[in-house]
């Protein structure tokens, strides 16, 4: 063959490994048994420490848990609406020549809520302010 590596490949394919000596086999068995027993001790200690850490974490989680207070259960106690306050302004003339009178209306809505369990109160105060234009008809 013209391939220079062909002879080398044939030589390597013909090689067969020798059987290990009895001393080497005994020494390997002794080393593997020693590390396996030592590995078992390490695994046992690691498992024990992990279990202990999990017990402490669970105890900390359960013992430090504080229950959230129940949400307030407000009920409507009172709703008030103040009388409307009307303010009339002098008439103004618009671009189209018509006259309007600006009027402002103000009033307040107040609702009171109470939670009898905790004796808490909430007051919702809403002021209203509206401006309107009233058409004035002149003859």
Chain segment 84-115, per-residue pLDDT in tens: 999 999 999 999 888 999 999 999 999 999 99
- Tell me how many degrees the CA angle 76-81-83 measures, rounded to the nearest 5: 165
pLDDT surpassing 70 at residue 48: yes
Average pLDDT, the chain: 85
119 Ramachandran zone, left/alpha/beta (phi>0; psi -120 to 50): left
pLDDT surpassing 70 at residue 9: yes
75: which strand partners? 114
Q: What is the pLDDT of residue 118?
A: 85
The SS3 of residue 59 is helix
> Looking at residues 50-75, what average pLDDT do you find?
82
The SS3 of residue 79 is strand
pTM above 0.75, yes or no: no
Report which of residues 53 and 65 the model is more confident about. Answer: 53
């Amino acid at each position: 063959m013209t391939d220079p590596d062909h002879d080398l490949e044939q030589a390597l394919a013909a090689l067969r490994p020798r059987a290990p000596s009895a001393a080497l086999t005994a020494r390997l068995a002794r080393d593997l048994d020693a590390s396996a027993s030592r590995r078992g001790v390490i695994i046992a200690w690691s498992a024990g420490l992990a279990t202990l850490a999990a017990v402490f974490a669970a105890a900390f989680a359960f013992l430090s848990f504080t229950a959230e207070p129940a949400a307030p259960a407000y009920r409507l106690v009172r709703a008030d609406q103040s009388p409307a306050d009307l303010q009339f302004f002098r008439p103004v003339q618009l671009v189209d020549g018509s006259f309007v009178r600006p009027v402002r209306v103000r009033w307040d809505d107040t609702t009171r809520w109470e939670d009898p369990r905790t004796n808490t109160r909430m007051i919702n105060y809403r002021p209203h302010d509206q401006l309107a234009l009233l058409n004035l008809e002149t003859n």
